[in-house]
Amino acid sequence: MTTDTAKKIEEYIEKNRQATAKELAGFLEISPQALFKQLLKLQTKGTIYKIGTPPKVFYLRKEKIQTNITPTDEIDKDAEKIIEENYLFITPSGERKEGLQGFKFWCNKTKQPIDKTALEYAKCWQKYDAYKKNGVIDGTFKLKSTFPIIYLNKLYYLDFYSIERFGKTKLGQLLLYAKQSQNVKMIKDLITNIKPTVQLLIKKFQIDAVLFVPPTVRREIQFMKELEKHLTLNIEKIPVFKIKTEIAVPQKTLNKLEDRIENAKNTILIESISHYNNILIIDDAVGSGATINEVAAQIKNKKLSKGKIIGLAITGSFKGFDVISEV
């Protein structure tokens, strides 16, 4: 049941598009305690949501999406299970909607029938999931179709960055928005999600040293640095640097394969004279594969590895030469 106070809050936010708690308390002439009690109820009810962090927090009305299905529509149970476990939608206003709730929201927003689209999503997901074994995707085939010489023994992804028609995968969405929003909590959530698989891979290949590919875009919070810090891997880290040039040219701005190879070859420097058995190279996303392959080439040329060089990316593209420009 909506109280008069709650209704006034909804109407005020609807009229003004957004409001702070201070604005609302002044408008309603009630105590902060009473206001926050009402705000919490409305958020739980799902009619408003908040954005920002203290001291800059704003309350907004939830977007009204007209449903295009009838109550008799039913979703296939197998498809529902796949969606519940694997689907994530980030709204344009920054709301995180997971599983079936997120999928229904996306279908309604794009005016697609939920039952039919759910079956199509499940079929598409199963096609790509077939590439995944023991929690990872073998992306070595991608390198073989792109480069004349491959310096990695194996390349793995934890997931594809995106799939046909349905766009970015759950892990792709988390990676994109963790980096772009500089959201430390989301970065830590992502790392917690992938850490067990990284540890299993290290155990499987008896990895004794790890190299984190350095970031190419300057940010206040560097995702790769956070990844290195919070994975807390109990193996030696190989020092590697991104050389500062007069004009910084991020890999993701280069659309030609040869330019990407040149960029990686001339701007990434491994500073180590130690020798290891098996080395793991970790990157956030593999588009063309130029960077991770060139880092492996340096390891080979410096004779740092006596065993295997394994590459691991959080996400990777499906095709041979592809550009993931967003991350």
49 and 181 fall within a common domain: no
What φ, ψ does residue 307 adopt, rounded to 5°? -120, -120
Peptide bond into 55 cis (omega under 30): yes
Instruction: Determine, yes or no, domain membership for 304.
Output: yes
User: pLDDT at position 105, please?
Assistant: 93
CATH of the domain at 30: 1.10.10.10
Indicate whether 18 and 143 sit together in one domain: no
Of 61, 87, 110, which one is at a domain's C-terminal end? 61
Closest to 29 measured CA to CA, from 5, 13, 47, 49: 5
What total of structural domains would you count in the chain?
3
Range of the domain at 111: 77-129
Instruction: Identify residue 124 by its one-letter amino acid code.
Output: C
Give the bridge partners for 92, in sequence order: none
Provide the CA 96 distance to its chain's centre, in angstroms: 12
Residue 63 near residue 93 (C-beta atoms within 8 A): yes
CATH number (domain holding residue 206): 3.40.50
Sheet holding 56-61, edge to edge: 18-19, 56-61, 48-53
* ∠ CA 312-314-320, rounded to 5°: 75
H helix count then E strand count, the chain:
12, 16
Domain assignment present for residue 66? The answer is no
Q: What is the pLDDT along the chain (327 residues), one digit of tens a residue?
A: 457 899 999 999 988 888 899 999 899 999 989 999 999 999 888 888 888 778 888 888 876 544 444 444 589 999 999 999 999 999 887 888 999 999 999 999 999 999 999 999 999 999 999 999 999 999 998 888 889 999 999 999 999 999 999 999 999 999 999 988 888 888 999 999 999 999 999 999 999 999 999 987 777 888 999 999 999 999 999 999 988 888 888 777 888 889 888 988 899 999 988 999 999 999 999 988 999 999 999 999 999 999 999 999 999 998 765 667 677
Report how far Cα 90 is from the mean position of its chain's Cα atoms. 11
Q: Are residues 52 and 187 in the same domain?
A: no
Residues 275 and 299 in one domain: yes
